[in-house]
Amino acid sequence: MPALTALIFDVDGTLADNECDGHRVAFNQAFAEAGLDWHWDAERYGELLAVTGGKERIRYYLSQDWPQRLHEPGIDDYIKTLHAAKTRHYVALLETGAIPLRPGIKRLITEARQADLRLAIATTTSPVNVTTLLRTTLGEASVDWFEVIAAGDIVPAKKPAPDVYHYALKALNLAPSACLALEDSAHGLRAARAAGIPVVVVNNAYTQDDDCSGALAVLDGFGDPYNLPTVLAGSTPMNGYVDIPSLRAWHKRQ
Ligand code: XBP
Ligand code: MG
């Protein structure tokens, strides 16, 4: 079994708890700007998270509420344009500093760098969303801390397909067993597992009922020394929160 060499982070729901107060808000802003009377409330958005990827999510919504619109000529371009507006609104929101990292993430990334672990990102969200989140929370230089940022349409099939993880593994030139993925959802867990990568899940309000069988551990937060997370599955982290020694210990159990 190779030693733990790289951490591969999911973004939405994992680095930041940003779906409800970030992406959802930006989708609604784009809809209003386009003169549409579509509005995704927090509960509906939770249902729409069944489909990953913003353009795919809009299409899924149309299939449920406005199925006839999917047959309109130019609908693919319309969705693309709408989604580009959503990305613009989302990035503008990030630039205000309104979306923080989840508690413990900054500490964990700092510890990982001190331990010389290699870092990567595998996400379904658009590349500019990732780099802007990193810049606005960890500083300008942080984008370069990640050897590969595999994001959005870089692969044709989004999570739960393993493609984005295959892409990241190839770029890292590492065996899946030398890596550990950090995910928040069953979709992400399935994607990483299908690529052979062991996974620790740190869930959130939208993903707390997900089936996370196959994860090395499931927690409700990364935690910090004075703010310990609840362990929902797997062994308790040695210091009570998610740190590098606990990630190494879980990784050995794969
Ligand atoms: C989460 C997603 C994304 C975002 C929206 O991805 O499914 O679609 O909700 O991002 P992950 P875009 O957890 O893998 O980071 O609108 O840019 O697609
Ligand atoms: Mg996620």
**How far does the chain reach from its first CA to its final CA, in angstroms?**
9
Query: Same structural domain for residues 124 and 63?
Result: no
- CATH code (residue 62): 1.10.150.240
> Which atom of ligand 1 lies nearest, measured to the CA of 10?
15
- Whether 12 sits among the annotated catalytic residues: the reply is yes
- Which of residues 67, 95, 123 is at a domain's end? 95
- What gap in Å lies between CA 76 and CA 79, rounded to an integer? 5
Question: Do 134 and 145 fall into the same domain?
Answer: yes
Choose the residue to mutate in 57, 87, 182 for probing ligand 1, maximizing ligand atoms within 8 Å of C-beta: 57
Beta strands 231-233 and 217-219 are: antiparallel
Q: How close is the Cα of 3 to the center of ligand 1, in Å? A: 30
The response to whether residue 54 sits with its C-beta less than 6 Å from ligand 1 reads: yes
Query: Are 230 and 116 in a shared domain?
Result: yes
In terms of domains, do 105 and 88 share one? no
Mean pLDDT of 154-183: 97
Tokens of 2: 């190779």
Same-domain pairing of 123 and 47:
no
Distance 172 CA to ligand 1 centre (A): 22
In a domain, residue 197? The reply is: yes
Q: Both tokens of residue 77?
A: 């371009």
Structural domains of the chain, count: 2
pLDDT at 1 over 90: no
Asked if residue 232 and residue 132 are part of one domain, the reply reads yes
* pLDDT tens for each residue of 84-121: 999 999 999 999 999 999 999 999 999 999 999 999 99
The pTM (predicted TM-score) of the whole model is 0.97
Q: Among 125, 167, 185, 199, name the best residue to mutate to test ligand 1's pocket (greatest count of ligand atoms within 8 A of Cβ).
A: 125
Distance 12 CA to ligand 1 centre (A): 6
Structural domain boundaries, residue 50: 19-95
Q: What is the pLDDT of residues 37-89, one digit of tens each?
A: 999 999 999 999 999 999 999 999 999 999 999 999 999 999 999 999 999 99
